[in-house]
Amino acid sequence: MEDAFARVTGSNCKPLVKFDNKTVIRSTIEALRGSPRINRIIVVGSEAVINHEDMALATAALPEMGSGPKNIMVGIEHLLSMDLPPDRVLIVTSDLPFLTPAVVERFIDLCDHNIDFNVPLIERPDYEEAYPGAEATFVKLLDGEWTTGCMYEVSVRGFRTALTHIEEVFNRRKSKLGIARMLGFKFVWDYLNKKLTVPDIEAKITELLRVRGKAVPGSPPELAYDIDYIEDYQYAMAFKSKARPATPVEPTS
């Protein structure tokens, strides 16, 4: 799978995949730098990523630690070791090809900065309007069909409190039985029978992580389009090509 992905995209490392001769990680950093509310950018990644020339745009680049939650904590701990340590941070994956400063600003504006976790929520019609024909995984609830995005606004205190519980969820993510036991079979039963709502999910997450969390409906659909597969890359390439304005040609006399 990785070899096939590399043959098509030019790299088996997703952050280093290029669009318009620019890596996704560079586009991500530039989008964050374009927001006046982002002060420092810490990249946590593979050796290939942290040694890449694009890391000159980041505040720091640190080696990954083997799991998503641990990688996030590495970045947070680095920020906390610096002058003026933050109370809140923005967590973003490095495979969002359509991220822009305006998208970053819009999501931050929608967040409740008095709670621990803000999770972007995108409804199916909004996503399909933005990216017609693109594949995405939606969860059907009583109050709509939703997918989540790949940017999170969180409190440092909340993330530290929830880290152990997040690790447990992360470790069980590939076991349906493990997830069912953690969620509770009544919750799973209600989900399978389409009886749950977004507030029900929020309440369960709050219970599991022991911090206050909130879904952010109306979040930008750009946060839900990530590069997981070859098809995602090919769609994004075609989409960007259509969106790119034609080069003007001076008429000849």
pLDDT at 11: 87
- CATH classification number, 2-240, choose in 3.90.550.10, 3.90.1150.10, 3.90.100.10, 2.60.40.420: 3.90.550.10
Low-confidence ranges of the chain (pLDDT < 70): 1, 170, 172-183, 243-253
Q: What is the pLDDT of residue 247?
A: 45
Q: State residue 209's pLDDT score.
A: 81
Task: Say which residue the tokens 């490095």 belong to.
Answer: 94
Name residue, tokens 């039985």: 177
Distances (CA, A) of 221 to 23, 147, 151, 236: 21, 9, 11, 14
pLDDT value at residue 188: 76
* Confidence (pLDDT) at 252: 46
How many other β-carbons are positioned within 10 Å of the β-carbon of residue 163?
16
Q: What is the pLDDT of residue 47?
A: 94
Cα(170)–Cα(197) distance, rounded to whole angstroms?
23
- Which contiguous run of DSSP H or E holds residue 60? strand 60-63
Neighbours of 38 (CB within 10 A): 18
Q: What is the pLDDT of residues 46-104, one digit of tens each?
A: 999 999 999 999 999 999 987 888 899 999 999 999 999 999 999 999 999 999 999 99
How much is the pLDDT for 139? 87
3-state secondary structure of 151: strand
Contact 92, 68 (CB under 8 A): no
Q: Return all residues near 26 (Cβ < 8 A) that are at least 6 apart.
A: 54, 57
**Nearest Cα to 240, choosing from 15, 10, 20?**
20
pLDDT at 191: 75
The domain ranges of the chain are 2-240
pLDDT (0 to 100) of residue 245 = 45
CA–CA distance, 215 with 202 (Å, rounded to integer): 7
Q: How far is CA 186 from CA 176, 200, 214, in A?
A: 15, 12, 22
